[in-house]
Structure 1
């Protein structure tokens, strides 16, 4: 899945806050939140961890909740495309479910 203009730390923290009521400082304090596991080209290409807690939330959330979360996220940001964010959240949830079934973890690849 590819997206532009989505910050894996702040935006995923906001999404988890919306879906699970998690405070952003708590989100950041988790052991697997946005830690660099691979870096190339002076930081222009990165692989970051996605917390187990966020992966669990995404794997368990209902489809209707994702749509509501996308709408809420766009309202909080003051701009954005609800359908695009909703689509992104649905894809993330599917990835999380698949990873959970296989006993795997989620990562985010960033290319600036």
Structure 2
């Protein structure tokens, strides 16, 4: 099935942890504004897109305390939640949606993929960025932060 990544918005780190540390029998992320995808890791795979959108260097992104910060974990890592940077959330929310296809092409050309993305992959990456931008916009409007749960 592959690794699932659930990008979602939550009020704060404590609220974000409740997306995976459940006291009910609901699936991970239930009740949160989320976008679930396969294969787009928020720490490594998404880095080139974050660099292109924010204008920050990879070094600046990786030294941001919110970049991939472990927020919560179930068991021995069966499911984890990490944070995305507030700078990425803010810039993505304001980013011109018409330019996200160009960002997807630049992201695909970054050389950070095991296989070079083809035209269909690039279109899917652009669609993902548009959906993530919409999530970021809603998060900013509601005073929320962005997170990602990871489930192998």
Deviation by residue 1:51-100 (Cα, 9 ceiling, x = unmatched): 10010111010112211001111122332501110111001100000000
- 1:37 is paired with a residue of what secondary structure? strand
Matches within 5 A, 1:28-107: 28-77=62-111, 78-80=116-118, 81-107=121-147
Which residue number corresponds to residue 8 of structure 1?
Answer: 42
Matches within 5 A, 1:11-30: 11-30=45-64
Query: Which consecutive residues of structure 2, in runs of 5 or more, have no partner in the other structure?
Result: 1-34
Larger Rg: 2
Moved over 6 A (4+): none
- 1:106 is paired with a residue of what secondary structure? strand
Q: Which has the higher helix share?
A: 1
Query: Which consecutive residues of structure 1, in runs of 5 or more, have no partner in the other structure?
Result: none
